[in-house]
Amino acid sequence: MPFLTSFKTLKRLGILGMNARNVNYISKYNDRKLYPLVDDKLKTKLLAQKAGINTPKLFFTLSRQHDVGELQKRLEGLNAFVLKPARGSGGKGIMVIASREKELFVKANGEKVSVEVLMRHVTNILAGLYSLSGTPDVAICEDLIIADSLLKSYSYEGVPDIRIIIFRGYPVMAMLRLATKLSDGKANLHQGAVGVGINLQNAQASHAVMEQSKVLVHPDTKNKLSEIEIANWHELLELACKCYEMTKLGYLGADIVIDQNRGPMLLELNARPGLSIQVANATGLVPRLKEIEKIKEIDPDPKNRIDFVLRQNWF
């Protein structure tokens, strides 16, 4: 039976609806002219580098069709990398190259492709095939994230990511997203990924859902979801909270991945984060947001903001 069915249950749990999110939080706390900072992954990355926030290393960008002929040369010495549209969303147009075999590039799913295929892909990115509004885009080539082995063991292909909602610089809710066979290696809930609510206080799984229903084990890897505990939790929360100073956006979704060697890294930011994080946590955002709204002066130190949240009786 789908979880969260009746209006009464939603209300009792303080579930934030789409309309209230847009009116009371997004339009109130997010200045529209700041959107381009997060809608464009290249801008986000450059901003993060300046703010000392870890992100996957940028190898190069291609912005004109004329540059596509240089691709082979630009890829010299790079064995593992990702080509993605700066203004893409929902995992569209992301090509993950895990290794090379002679002249060929080996994708994460094992398929081998030639440089011509990569060139065509870049051409499609530049033409805006994957960009938000179909407008011409820029192609980003960045380092491949090697998922932390523990988390990776829970996921079916793909890199698990952790979404944290940051309100006025304070972390309010977290969710781990695990790709499934159904979600085609992507960590998007509406594509069938598993969403695992993570308790902010102890970094442990609290509840999990797939396709709106409660689940106890990952459908493909069969691992017990209740045993999940995220490592480097405080470091991860701090990285997410710093995105407030970095963007000045008051209501923000930060997507973080944990690289085997480099630890927590910012993958992307969202100024209109989805509401299903509440379903994954089996609880609503409203009481938490209201508590944070009472704060008159935002503490400039992310560490203090995290301590404030961890002292709350939300958990």
Least gap, CB of 10 to ligand ADP (angstroms): 27
Contact 259/148 with Cβ under 8 angstroms? yes
Nearest alpha carbon to residue 174 among 200, 213, 208, 195: 200
Residue with CB nearest ligand ADP? 145
Report the alpha-carbon distance of residue 53 to residue 240 in Å, rounded. Answer: 9
Which amino acid does the sequence have at 295? I
Least gap, CB of 311 to ligand ADP (angstroms): 32
Least gap, CB of 189 to ligand ADP (angstroms): 12
Based on the number of CB atoms within 10 Å of its own CB, is 116 exposed (0-12), middle (13-18) or buried (19 or more)?
exposed
Report the alpha-carbon distance of residue 45 to residue 294 in Å, rounded. Answer: 32
Q: Which residues of this protein are in contact with ligand ADP, per CB under 6 A?
A: 56, 82, 88-92, 94, 96, 142, 144-145, 158-159, 161, 187, 255, 267-268
The nearer residue to ligand ADP, 145 or 165, going by C-beta atoms, is 145
The nearer residue to ligand ADP, 142 or 289, going by C-beta atoms, is 142
Give, for 73, the enclosing helix (H) or strand (E): helix 71-74
The nearer residue to ligand ADP, 83 or 241, going by C-beta atoms, is 83
The nearer residue to ligand ADP, 98 or 282, going by C-beta atoms, is 98
Judged by DSSP in three states, 297 sits in: coil
Least gap, CB of 297 to ligand ADP (angstroms): 33
Tokens in use for 204?
């442990």
Longest C-alpha distance within the chain, in Å? Answer: 61
The nearer residue to ligand ADP, 24 or 54, going by C-beta atoms, is 54
The nearer residue to ligand ADP, 16 or 140, going by C-beta atoms, is 140
Helices in 25-183 by DSSP H: which ranges?
27-29, 35-39, 41-51, 71-74, 115-126, 149-152
The nearer residue to ligand ADP, 238 or 255, going by C-beta atoms, is 255
Least gap, CB of 312 to ligand ADP (angstroms): 29
CA 215: distance to chain centroid?
21
Least gap, CB of 179 to ligand ADP (angstroms): 7
Tokens in use for 212?
């709106």
Q: Which residues pair with 178 in a beta bridge?
A: 194
Least gap, CB of 16 to ligand ADP (angstroms): 22
